[in-house]
């Protein structure tokens, strides 16, 4: 069996640094093939935020949506206890390993339709030690990018806490999460989540022209004005109309503009009413159709024209459908060959992580971007809602 492990790791080292699917996904796929597993997940501890690990790989052979929440719960337990766990979440069997490296702490969770043998339990110690070293090596090669992300998270911590939306009181029939990663210490993107009487949820993502302090200044003013208007007006098109007229003089003086999407989601009806002021067209993963559709309909950017008219549109969201609203930074980030992540990259990520809740989808998407694209030149923000 040890010789079996030697062959496995010889293959893993080769695939990690040559495969186009990325090192962590390669690890998951190879473990599935070697041990005939149903699924494998790999979680990386976040040293800056307690109890907030990131899922860096999830490989599976079939629909296993029943283990989604248990998978995340196990990852947290392993990273906190640093002890191996095994057991059953009917009908699946799991074997969870802490991977304690010199520079990184992670957890490996293996899922199988059959019980894990005693022989595998004995093997797991060697497996865990060698995987920890491999992950240390892979992450170390990407250390500058990881350090940059860490610095940005620290620098924007106050703004995320004070200005970012609180999603704790969102209707539990829906799953909502978001990510914000500025290109500078201060960013020009903003997003917000509003809770209305009756259970409706307001969702907005906006992108102010300019980076750093100029973009952040426009963002702060735009967000404040938007919040004031959204309290008294319940139609997205009217809110954008008023925001444009009230903010256009300041934007003209600053030679700036703001693109913004705003929608009101009604969970009980499964309906989204929205308007768009020059922002990227959001995407919806349609579960029943296994495809991505585009939310069409777009008007002029905020600050582009006085008395600009905006139109409200509607879209149905069925159970399991996934809405993502994003800024330019996510779509336009490029890899080392100068290729944009693009709509295709976002769409493939929605398909790949469709079985997870909104938090899991955000984790998967941000790690896919970090793996493929190593240079961020624009603020990157996105909001995910899973019906």
Average pLDDT over the chain, rounded to an integer: 83
* Residues contacting residue 173 through CB under 8 Å, at least 6 positions apart: 267
Q: Output the pLDDT for position 143.
A: 45
Residue 60: its pLDDT value, please? Answer: 87
User: Higher confidence at residue 142 or residue 144?
Assistant: 142
pLDDT of residue 241: 96
Over the stretch 301-340, which tens digit does the pLDDT of each residue have? Answer: 999 999 999 999 999 999 999 999 999 889 988 887 888 9
Q: Decide: helix, strand or coil at residue 225.
A: helix
What does the alpha-carbon distance between residue 341 and residue 368 come to, in Å, rounded to a whole number?
Answer: 10
Residue-range domain boundaries for the chain: 2-141, 156-386
Confidence band for 146, pLDDT divided at 50, 70 and 90 = very low
User: Cα torsion at 47, 126, 137, 106 (round to 10°)?
Assistant: -20
Identify the band that residue 50 occupies on the pLDDT scale cut at 50, 70 and 90. Answer: low
pLDDT for the residue numbered 161: 47
pLDDT higher than threshold 50 for residue 73: yes
List, in sequence order, every residue forming a beta bridge with 258; answer none if it has no partner: 208, 302
State the DSSP H helix or E strand holding residue 42, giving kind and residue range, or none if neither. Answer: strand 39-44
Beta strands in 113-257 (DSSP E): 175-181, 189-195, 201-208
User: Phi and psi of 264, rounded to 5°?
Assistant: -115, 115
Q: Classify domain 156-386 by CATH architecture.
A: 4-Layer Sandwich (3.60)
User: What pLDDT is recorded for position 293?
Assistant: 97
Tens digit of pLDDT for each residue in 225-272? Answer: 899 999 888 899 999 999 999 989 888 877 888 999 999 999 999 999
Residue 324's pLDDT is: 98
What mean pLDDT comes out for the span 197-218?
Answer: 77
CA dist., res. 160 & res. 90, Å (int): 38
Composition of the chain by helix, strand, coil, percent to 5: 40, 25, 30
Check for a shared fold between 2-141 and 156-386. no
Residue 166's pLDDT is 64
As a whole-number percent, the residues of the chain with pLDDT over 70 amount to: 82
Residues 287-305: tens digit of each pLDDT: 999 999 999 999 999 999 9
Please say if the pLDDT value at position 138 is more than 80.
Answer: no
Q: Is the pLDDT of residue 211 over 60?
A: no
pLDDT at 52 over 80: no
Residue 42's alpha-carbon distances to 94, 103, 123, 132, 263, in angstroms, are 13, 16, 18, 11, 34
CATH superfamily assigned to domain 2-141: GAF domain (3.30.450.40)
Q: What is the mean pLDDT of residues 55-67?
A: 80
Is residue 279 predicted with pLDDT exceeding 80?
yes
Q: Quick check: 174 pLDDT over 70?
A: yes
Q: What is the mean pLDDT of residues 174-202?
A: 80
**Does the structure show a pLDDT above 70 at 142?**
no
Q: Using 50, 70 and 90 to split pLDDT, how confident is the model at 153? A: very low
From 252, 383, 255, select the one nearest 324 (Cα to Cα). Answer: 383
């Amino acid at each position: 069996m040890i010789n079996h492990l030697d062959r496995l790791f010889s293959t893993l080292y080769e695939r990690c640094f040559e495969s186009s699917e990325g090192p962590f996904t390669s690890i998951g796929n190879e473990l599935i093939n070697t041990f005939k597993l149903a699924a494998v997940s790999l979680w990386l501890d976040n040293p800056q935020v307690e109890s907030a690990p990131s899922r860096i790989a999830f490989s599976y052979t079939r629909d296993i949506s029943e283990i989604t929440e248990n998978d995340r719960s196990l990852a947290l337990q392993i990273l906190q206890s640093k002890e191996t766990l095994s057991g059953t979440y009917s009908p699946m069997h799991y074997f969870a390993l802490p991977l304690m490296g010199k520079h990184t702490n992670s957890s490996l969770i293996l899922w199988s339709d059959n019980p894990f043998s005693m022989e595998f339990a004995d093997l797991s110690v060697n497996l865990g030690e060698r995987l920890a070293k491999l992950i240390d090596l892979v992450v170390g090669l990407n250390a500058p990018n990881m350090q940059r992300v860490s610095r940005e998270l620290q620098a924007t911590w106050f703004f995320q806490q004070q200005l970012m939306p609180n999603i704790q009181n969102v209707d539990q029939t829906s799953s909502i999460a978001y990510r914000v990663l500025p290109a500078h210490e201060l960013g020009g993107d903003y997003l917000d989540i509003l809770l209305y009487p009756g259970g409706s949820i307001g969702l907005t993502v906006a992108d102010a022209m300019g980076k750093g302090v100029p973009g952040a200044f426009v963002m702060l003013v735009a967000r404040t004005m938007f919040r004031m208007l959204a309290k008294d007006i319940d139609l997205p098109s009217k809110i954008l109309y008023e925001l444009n007229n009230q903010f256009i003089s300041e934007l003209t003086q600053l030679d700036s503009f703001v693109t913004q999407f705003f929608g009101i989601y009604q969970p009980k009806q499964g309906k989204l009413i929205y308007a768009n002021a020059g922002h990227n067209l959001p995407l919806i993963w349609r579960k029943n159709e296994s495809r991505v559709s585009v939310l069409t309909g777009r008007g002029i950017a905020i600050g582009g024209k006085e008395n600009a008219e905006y139109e409200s549109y509607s879209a149905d969201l069925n159970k399991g459908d996934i809405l993502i609203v994003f800024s330019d930074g996510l779509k336009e980030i490029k890899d080392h060959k100068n290729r944009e992540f693009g709509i295709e990259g976002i769409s493939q990520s929605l398909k790949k992580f469709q079985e997870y809740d909104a938090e899991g989808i955000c984790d998967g998407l941000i790690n896919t971007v970090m793996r493929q694209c190593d240079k961020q030149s624009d603020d990157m923000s996105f909001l995910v809602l899973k019906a």
